[in-house]
A and B are shown apart, each in its own frame.
Chain A
Amino acid sequence: MSLATTQSIADIRARNKQLIEEVLKVYPEKTAKRRAKHLNVHQAGKSDCGVKSNIKSIPGVMTIRGCAYAGSKGVVWGPIKDMVHISHGPVGCGQYSWGSRRNYYVGTTGIDSFVTLQFTSDFQEKDIVFGGDKKLVKVLDEIQELFPLNNGITIQSECPIGLIGDDIEAVSRTKSKEYGGKTIVPVRCEGFRGVSQSLGHHIANDAVRDWIFDKLEPNGAPKFEPTPYDVAIIGDYNIGGDAWSSRILLEEMGLRVIAQWSGDGSLAELEATPKAKLNLLHCYRSMNYISRHMEEKFGIPWCEYNFFGPSKIAESLRKIAAYFDDKIKEGAERVIEKYQPLVNAVVAKYRPRLEGRTVMLYVGGLRPRHVIGAYEDLGMEVVGTGYEFGHNDDYQRTAQNYVKDSTLIYDDVNGYEFERFVEKLQPDLIGSGIKEKYVFQKMGVPFRQMHSWDYSGPYHGYDGFAIFARDMDMAVNSPVWKKTKAPWKETPRAKLLAAE
């Protein structure tokens, strides 16, 4: 067990403050000044975590962040299954993001579903020199011919598009008209825009507004009979099936889910969402924009929820039910009651094996705060957390609802800082991404990827919580962590005891 739990809050605060000071020493003066604003020790009662965020990453520091294209194609648009998403520009972006996010869907891939195909205009030098619009026209024609059952096309701009002055909007309009009003969405998510994935989410949300919502027939007949219980799941990418293990709970409590944004989602679901009575927002960071828009334009309220771990799930089910009548409120109670035996069994089995273990997180979107409750349900303690591309409103939510006093906070952390923090805090588990996984495992610290669920999942909902508990246990208590030192070598240093 780590040293962290044996210290008082004041000791931990002092240690964490000192740790930040130490880490900053490595930087040239200008960089130290800038990074200092992103690192802090949370103080209970404050309205945010006291860090600056959503600011440009510093060159050369090994930021973990991605780009706007990743936020649009990789996160928001990519999972829409019945549309073809073109990675427009050179081959790499689409190649590296091909199938790696585990956005599960049901469909006949290559015929009526296209999520795990890599469509690219594969720019060559002549496309850069002479412009790529002509090629794009041809790309769209070829998609229409070879994939006649696609329900729409998006154009996901890579860096060169915005630099060479291509007019993808004009191409989209012309081709849409030519194909009888087909949905063709140009997205200006060039990787150099903004400071991280975050602007890509925003641009992608705006593209839904401008190129889908604004083209809807204002009084078009709904394709299904509306009910008072129609809701949409917003900001769930169905990683390992997350949206499914969420949807099942909402339906069991009596709601009807008419759309999933965007995991296992379809164009028809996006178009139907303005008919929802309530938008349920899981990943606030990536889809608050479109939720606010729907509130303003269509008068649909939105409600943030958290389906990680039984405490937050129950709290969320009740919060959602409060928007509806007694039938739904009773439904929520029924669901909570139905799953209580499962929750009890999972906690009984895994909590004794995880009690008191400490966790450090560094993830994107909603997870740096949302998963904290699930760890606490298992008796674990999150001692450090940070956002890859959070904004101040994320840190506010974190401070007000999630983190404990003296938690170490690190915004846009880089390789160097994260390693130093881990060395000092000696967590029993780290939850972060693929780029961090092997670094920390080499150091002998158990690790779970918390973007892809490390190829497991779902983690949402009650069904997901059982999997989450199993996975955290198998990481922390794997026998391999007792083998990292050869028996003939000297006693391991303290930090290597992390997994004892």
Chain B
Amino acid sequence: MAQSAEHVLDHLELFRGPEYQQMLDKKKMFEDPREPAEVERIKEWTKTPEYREKNFAREALTINPAKACQPLGAVFASVGFEGTLPFVHGSQGCVAYYRSHLSRHFKEPCSCVSSSMTEDAAVFGGLNNMIDGLANSYNMYKPKMIAVSTTCMAEVIGDDLNAFIKTSKEKGSVPAEFDVPFAHTPAFVGSHVTGYDNALKGILEHFWDGKAGTVPKLERRPNQAINIIGGFDGYAVGNLREIRRILELMGIQHTILADNSEVFDTPTDGEFRMYDGGTTLEDAANAVHAKATISMQEWCTEKTLQFVAGHGQDVVSFNYPIGISATDDLLVALSRIGGKDIPEQLARERGRLVDAIADSSAHIHGKKFAVYGDPDLCYGVASFLLELGAEPTHVLSTNGNKAWQTKMAALLAGSPFGQSCQVYPGRDLWHLRSLLFTEPVDFLIGNTYGKYLERDTGTPLIRIGFPVFDRHHHHRSPVWGYQGGLNVLVKILDKIFDEIDKKTNLLGKTDYSFDIIR
């Protein structure tokens, strides 16, 4: 018996001992397993160009996608408003999934309710669920606003949110003047970034365009403020705070819309804050008067920006700005639109990032990278890699479209380091597996699921993306701006040095290169 009270063995070690190994060997006779040689043959076959061709010929099957569904993005955006409870109309299991998913990434609570529709609602529609649900949520959780979105069930049966909310108010579920913005967020269209876009647009539309016909539309009186939209972002906590710091340094009056940097980073001090921080409802309404709206993620905000532009504002979008040039572009745009100079402090921060890259670039230069994730994140990471003299080789986005592909291709074409890179919209991580076997790279950048690729192909994974379940707290530090660029640089360098050490630490064999100074 290996177990003992002095040194308790858990799953990491317990099963490696002879007792368990013999037991598992004996279990095989009941499993009717494949011949080991056959398993080996197929395993090797999956690494070949021939397999890759079959893999890329897939038309219907998706394996290990790097995307989630719309309502997740809707919930993520909704909790970024003060006192707002996301309410997802449809089956209840979905809400359990969104809450778990976000909690596993942020290591934070995520409050959200469902209208718990079941078979009868599938037949008769979910109106009664909406009526009861809004009344219960309002009484129990005392929100300032309830932001409604939908699961695919409600979308398939065609529930009309606008009419349902109106009826619910007539029935007294919530006061007539209580804010209940809504967005239809079908899971079978787009991805979580689409849901973010739809939910945010729904909320702005509610405040700006007369609250579903119940009050006059707001008349825009332009002021000097700038609205900022972060987009769906696993680093929202760190990134939104960094953007706020930059805007404050520049002295630009601003509103961060859907600011969930507080609610996903509350203190442990004896109090559970179901709601915390967030864009105030007043600020959300007044955001109509801003002179411009800046989106940090173009493909998270296509409809929202179109809506905002329709109200007469300038709109500018970025693609997850990481590194020197991307931050330069952001600051120059902020300065131009906000009419403020870029302070010396930011110039010094820029210089420090350049300094750090100069110190370290010899270790990164020429290294090949595969990158996957949301479309904007891929763009931001790839553009930073180009600045570092690294060579992005495969860039893949399951929820990227043709327009994304074109823009990515243009970025890569503009750099000598991007010449050998291919862009893959609409592909999944099983495609990427084939790519990593047939055209290997030095490092992989992606979310937690990339660890399966790391295991299968031996490509070291640098975790940048969403979700990151198996490493803690990285979301608290920014990846945007010069400071964020520094964080990303360190993440990449740490992995590079760890890999060099791993490859040079055999005593008396390879350890002549086990250098103490690098």
**Interface on A for B, CB 8 Å cutoff?**
26-28, 30-31, 56-70, 82, 89-93, 95-100, 104, 106, 108-112, 116-125, 127-128, 135-136, 138-139, 142-143, 145-146, 148-149, 151, 158-160, 162-164, 191-195, 197, 223-224, 240-241, 244-245, 247-248, 251, 257-260, 264, 266-269, 272, 338-339, 342, 345-346, 348-350, 414-416, 419, 433-435, 437-444, 456-458, 462-463, 466-467, 469-470, 480, 484-486, 492-493, 495-496
A277 to B510, CA, bound (A): 57
A495 to B101, CA, bound (A): 29
A488 to chain B, nearest CB (A): 12
A194 CB contacts on chain B under 8 angstroms: 118-119
The chain B residue with its CB closest to the CB of A109 is: B452
- On whether the beta carbons of A60 and B137 are closer than 8 Å, the reply is yes
* Binary flags per residue of B86-129, CB closer than 8 Å to A gives 1, else 0: 01001111101111110110011111111111110110000001
Q: Given A56-B118, A89-B152, A251-B23, A124–B189 Cβ distance below 8 Å?
A: yes
B1 CB contacts on chain A under 8 angstroms: 338-339, 342, 463
A93 to B71, CA, bound (A): 11
Q: Given A434-B103, A442-B109, A224–B139 Cβ distance below 8 Å?
A: no
- On whether the beta carbons of A146 and B153 are closer than 8 Å, the reply is no
A348 to B4, CA, bound (A): 12
- On whether the beta carbons of A163 and B122 are closer than 8 Å, the reply is yes
A404 to B98, CA, bound (A): 36
User: Among the listed stretches B29-37, B216-224, B306-314, which one makes contact with chain A, having 4 or more residues with CB under 8 Å of it?
Assistant: B29-37
B361 to chain A, nearest CB (A): 36
Set A28, A259, A435: member contacting B139, Cβ < 8 A: A28
- On whether the beta carbons of A192 and B91 are closer than 8 Å, the reply is yes
User: Among the listed stretches B10-18, B201-209, B326-334, B372-380, which one makes contact with chain A, having 4 or more residues with CB under 8 Å of it?
Assistant: B10-18
Q: Can you give 22 contacting A-B residue pairs, CB < 8 Å?
A: A56-B118, A58-B136, A59-B129, A67-B94, A92-B69, A100-B100, A111-B39, A122-B62, A146-B430, A149-B34, A164-B156, A192-B153, A194-B118, A251-B23, A259-B30, A260-B27, A342-B3, A350-B5, A434-B103, A469-B8, A470-B8, A485-B270
B305 CB contacts on chain A under 8 angstroms: none
New A-B pairs, 15, CB < 8 Å, besides A415-B141, A435-B109: A92-B72, A96-B97, A96-B98, A96-B101, A104-B11, A106-B24, A110-B46, A121-B61, A138-B59, A163-B157, A192-B90, A416-B140, A434-B103, A442-B267, A470-B10
- On whether the beta carbons of A62 and B112 are closer than 8 Å, the reply is yes
Q: Given A106-B24, A158-B152, A345-B5, A67–B91 Cβ distance below 8 Å?
A: yes
A2 to chain B, nearest CB (A): 15
A437 to B118, CA, bound (A): 27
- On whether the beta carbons of B118 and A193 are closer than 8 Å, the reply is yes
A106 to chain B, nearest CB (A): 6
- On whether the beta carbons of B268 and A191 are closer than 8 Å, the reply is no
- On whether the beta carbons of B456 and A110 are closer than 8 Å, the reply is yes
B402 proximal to A (CB < 8 A):
no
B134 proximal to A (CB < 8 A):
yes
A58 CB contacts on chain B under 8 angstroms: 116, 132, 136
- On whether the beta carbons of A266 and B31 are closer than 8 Å, the reply is yes
- On whether the beta carbons of B270 and A65 are closer than 8 Å, the reply is no
The chain B residue with its CB closest to the CB of A481 is: B268
B19 CB contacts on chain A under 8 angstroms: 248
| Closest A-B pairs by Cβ, 6 of them | A67-B93, A92-B69, A60-B133, A59-B133, A268-B32, A96-B97
A119 to chain B, nearest CB (A): 6
A139 to chain B, nearest CB (A): 5
B415 proximal to A (CB < 8 A):
no
The chain B residue with its CB closest to the CB of A224 is: B29
Set A120, A192, A492: member contacting B118, Cβ < 8 A: A192
- On whether the beta carbons of B64 and A117 are closer than 8 Å, the reply is yes
Q: Given A66-B92, A97-B97, A159-B91, A135–B137 Cβ distance below 8 Å?
A: no
B161 to chain A, nearest CB (A): 14
A91 to B72, CA, bound (A): 11
B198 proximal to A (CB < 8 A):
no
- On whether the beta carbons of B109 and A439 are closer than 8 Å, the reply is yes
B178 proximal to A (CB < 8 A):
no
B184 proximal to A (CB < 8 A):
no
- On whether the beta carbons of B30 and A269 are closer than 8 Å, the reply is yes
B322 to chain A, nearest CB (A): 25
Q: Which residues of B (137-194) have their CB < 8 Å from a CB of A?
A: 137, 139-141, 151-153, 156-157, 186-189, 191
B60 proximal to A (CB < 8 A):
yes
- On whether the beta carbons of B59 and A443 are closer than 8 Å, the reply is no
- On whether the beta carbons of A63 and B266 are closer than 8 Å, the reply is no
- On whether the beta carbons of A435 and B133 are closer than 8 Å, the reply is no
A259 to B27, CA, bound (A): 8
A414 CB contacts on chain B under 8 angstroms: 140
Interface centre among A125, A439, A470, A496 (most CB of B within 10 A): A439
A158 CB contacts on chain B under 8 angstroms: 152
- On whether the beta carbons of A67 and B42 are closer than 8 Å, the reply is no
- On whether the beta carbons of B97 and A92 are closer than 8 Å, the reply is yes
A267 CB contacts on chain B under 8 angstroms: 32
B394 proximal to A (CB < 8 A):
no
A346 CB contacts on chain B under 8 angstroms: 5
B217 to chain A, nearest CB (A): 29
B65 proximal to A (CB < 8 A):
yes
A251 CB contacts on chain B under 8 angstroms: 23, 26
B514 proximal to A (CB < 8 A):
no
The chain B residue with its CB closest to the CB of A441 is: B268
A469 to B136, CA, bound (A): 40
B158 to chain A, nearest CB (A): 10
- On whether the beta carbons of A60 and B115 are closer than 8 Å, the reply is yes
A195 CB contacts on chain B under 8 angstroms: 118
A158 to B109, CA, bound (A): 26
B43 proximal to A (CB < 8 A):
yes
- On whether the beta carbons of B60 and A138 are closer than 8 Å, the reply is yes
B512 proximal to A (CB < 8 A):
no
B60 CB contacts on chain A under 8 angstroms: 121, 135-136, 138-139, 142
A59 CB contacts on chain B under 8 angstroms: 113-117, 129-130, 132-133, 136
Q: Given A122-B65, A485-B270, A111–B42 Cβ distance below 8 Å?
A: yes
Interface centre among B30, B68, B266, B272 (most CB of A within 10 A): B30
The chain B residue with its CB closest to the CB of A247 is: B23
A414 to B133, CA, bound (A): 13
- On whether the beta carbons of B186 and A125 are closer than 8 Å, the reply is yes
A139 to B157, CA, bound (A): 25
The chain A residue with its CB closest to the CB of B129 is: A59
B35 to chain A, nearest CB (A): 10
The chain B residue with its CB closest to the CB of A350 is: B5
Q: Given A159-B152, A349-B5, A223–B32 Cβ distance below 8 Å?
A: yes
